Structure 1
């Protein structure tokens, strides 16, 4: 029986999906076997590159992508990776409130029904106040950042997931700023919480932004 120890983070799965789509487009448009073989090898290599280290069994699992010949086979392959996902740690209401102590009436999503498996970071918007709340896990600890998000009604590249999406301007007051010196940091990010998590392939930009707020 194959060992199904989870080892794939959400952003790594997104990279694998991206490579699978790249392979599928090539299968539909290219007949040359040499070109196809090169693309298969490239897709697997790109998928492996996002992992620091892999066991022989894990490498073999990723290499199976190159053997798929049709759209339904690639989808079945992607579905087979689900047991290997490392979910984002579940967040309780108490933990969330502790991360945002200044927000007395914190409006939370239904934390128990969230899709933690396909999540690189937790985020939600309080539509009444136009506040975007972000929870991220770094070095075993939760990090919470909140700020005002203003819809731009335009599409562009999200700072966090680098995909062309409907954007909002996220403005965060920096730690230590005073009423006389209101320092802040802003970036254009996705308005759609789910789309961002389904697109992000590298958490580095997200992490850099969150850490730069000084929270």
Structure 2
């Protein structure tokens, strides 16, 4: 059985670099430029991982040897068994993350391919609320807030892609403040979480927002 080591956002980095390298191969004839792009693509992939074994480095570095679209497609398919899925979570665990929400609308977990999930996000249309569950240091963090569609495109805080956005506002209680003295943090994020998960390549902004919103 394959040892999983590639998280969803890291796989997105690999896909992005593979697509860029293939596009360069199709449009650039200068071999020196091509070799530079090959080198930078591998470097960018390696940089997405805090640590790798020599075998893992060799496996990921194969991307620099490809010439055809079929080679890149096979490369990505061969990496799928090494994807580390979002940790197993049950409806009861999700409910415990939002104890104040007695009418919590749960996501359909059976329809989710957890290999391609960095954060679990879903919208309750009736209440205009976005719910996010994120695994952090061996535990799950859940945040919820009001979501207001902007009806315009911009760059999402989480995945940094140009997409239709919504303003996500989460109420927080500053340290030492009373329950009546709440503040809020707000950012523009993708209106559609699945597409966001398919594009996110770095969890830094996502984690910073979630940790700030969960205080």
Under a length normalisation based on structure 1, what TM-score does the superposition of the two structures give?
0.95
Q: Does 1:84 align with 2:82?
A: yes
SS of the residue corresponding to residue 198 of structure 2 reads: helix
What corresponds to 1:57 in structure 2?
A: 55
What corresponds to 2:123 in structure 1?
A: 125
List per-residue Cα deviations over 1:106-139 (Å, max 9, x = no partner): 1111113311100111000001111100000110
What corresponds to 1:146 in structure 2?
A: 144
More displaced stretch, 27-36 vs 77-86: 27-36
CA contact (8 A) 1:131 1:148 kept: yes
1:24 & 1:156 partners in 2: Cα distance?
27
TM-aligned CA deviation for residue 159 of structure 1: 0.6
1:178 & 1:121 partners in 2: Cα distance?
30
TM-aligned CA deviation for residue 34 of structure 1: 2.1
Q: Does 1:113 align with 2:104?
A: no
1:126 & 1:13 partners in 2: Cα distance?
29
Label 1:180 to 1:4 Cα distance change in 2 as closer, same or farther (>3 A).
Answer: closer
List per-residue Cα deviations over 1:35-91 (Å, max 9, x = no partner): 212211110111001111111110111111111112222112111110000001122
Runs of 5+ unmatched residues, structure 1: none
TM-aligned CA deviation for residue 179 of structure 1: 7.0
What corresponds to 1:173 in structure 2?
A: 171
CA contact (8 A) 1:151 1:191 kept: yes
List per-residue Cα deviations over 1:84-104 (Å, max 9, x = no partner): 000011221100000000110
1:164 & 1:186 partners in 2: Cα distance?
18
What corresponds to 2:195 in structure 1?
A: 195
SS of the residue corresponding to residue 81 of structure 1 reads: helix
Under a length normalisation based on structure 2, what TM-score does the superposition of the two structures give?
0.95
TM-aligned CA deviation for residue 142 of structure 1: 0.2
What corresponds to 1:207 in structure 2?
A: 207
Alignment of 1:14-33 (within 5 A): 14-33=12-31
What corresponds to 1:100 in structure 2?
A: 98
1:150 & 1:49 partners in 2: Cα distance?
35
Cα RMSD of the aligned pairs, angstroms, is 1.4
Q: Runs (4+) of structure 1 moved beyond 2 Å?
A: 175-182
List per-residue Cα deviations over 1:144-197 (Å, max 9, x = no partner): 000000100010000111111110000000036667533111000000111110
CA contact (8 A) 1:131 1:147 kept: yes
Runs of 5+ unmatched residues, structure 2: none
